[in-house]
Chains A and B, each alone.
Chain A
Amino acid sequence: MGTATKPDKSTPAPSDGLVAVVKKDCPTCVHVAVVLAQLSAADDVQLTVYSQDEPSFPADLEDVVDDTSLAFSWHNNIETVPTLMRFEQGKEVERIVGWERSQWEEFTGRNGLGPDIAGYRPGCGSLSVDPLLVDELNVRFGASVLRSRRVEFASAEDPFEATFDRGWTDGLPVVPPTEARVMAMLAGTTRAPDDIVATIPPDLVEVTVEQIAANAVMAGCKPEYLPVVLAAVEAACTDEFNMHGLLATTYFSGPIIVVNGPVAHRIGMNSTNNVLGQGNRANLTIGRALQLVVRNLGGGRPGGIDMALMGAPSKLGLCFAEREADSPFAPLAGEFGVETSGDSTNVGAVTLFAGQGPTGIIDQISRGPESLARSMAGVLMATGHPKLVIGFDAMLVVGPEHGRIFTEAGWDRARLLAELEALLIRDSDELIQGAGGIDEGIPAAFAGAQLPKFRPGGLQIVHAGGDAGLFSAVLGGWVGGDKGSTPTCRPITP
Chain B
Amino acid sequence: MTTVLDPTGGRSADTLQAVDRPPNLDGLTVGLLDISKARGDKFLDQLESRLTDRGITVKRFMKPTFSKPAPVDLRHEIAESCDAVIEALAD
Enumerate chain A interface residues (CB-CB to B < 8 A): 2, 146, 148-155, 157, 159, 162-163, 168, 176-179, 182, 203, 205, 207, 210-211, 214-215, 218, 242, 244-246, 248-250, 292, 296-297, 299, 479, 482-484
Contacts and interface: CB of A to CB of B under 8 A. Distances in A.
Contact of B11 (A162, A179, A299, A483): A299
A48 B90 CA distance: 78
B27 interface: no
B10 A148 contact: yes
B17 interface: no
A278 B67 CA distance: 31
B91 to A, nearest CB: 7
Interface of B: 1-11, 14, 65-69, 91
B8 A168 contact: yes
A210 B9 CA distance: 10
B9 A484 contact: no
Given A153-B3, A163-B4, A242-B67, 16 more contacts: A2-B10, A148-B6, A151-B4, A153-B1, A153-B4, A162-B2, A177-B4, A178-B4, A178-B5, A182-B5, A205-B9, A214-B5, A244-B68, A248-B67, A297-B11, A299-B11
A148 B5 CA distance: 6
Contact of B69 (A211, A214, A244, A299): A244
A154 B4 CA distance: 11
Contacts of B5: 146, 148-151, 177-179, 182, 210, 214
Given A250-B91, A299-B11, A151 B69 contact: no
A153 B2 contact: yes
Contacts of B6: 2, 148-151, 214
Nearest to A162: B2
A154 B1 contact: yes
A242 B9 contact: no
A292 B4 CA distance: 16
Contacts of A168: 7-8
Contacts of B2: 152-153, 157, 159, 162, 176, 178
B8 A479 contact: no
Closest 7 CB pairs of A and B: A245-B67, A148-B5, A149-B6, A214-B7, A149-B10, A153-B2, A483-B65
A482 B65 contact: yes
Given A244-B68, A250-B91, A484-B67, A297 B8 contact: yes
Contacts of A159: 2, 4
Contact of A150 (B3, B8, B68): B3
Contacts of B4: 150-151, 153, 159, 163, 176-179
Contacts of B65: 245, 482-484
Nearest to A443: B38
Nearest to B5: A148
Nearest to A249: B67
Contacts of B11: 203, 205, 297, 299
B9 A148 contact: yes
Nearest to A150: B3
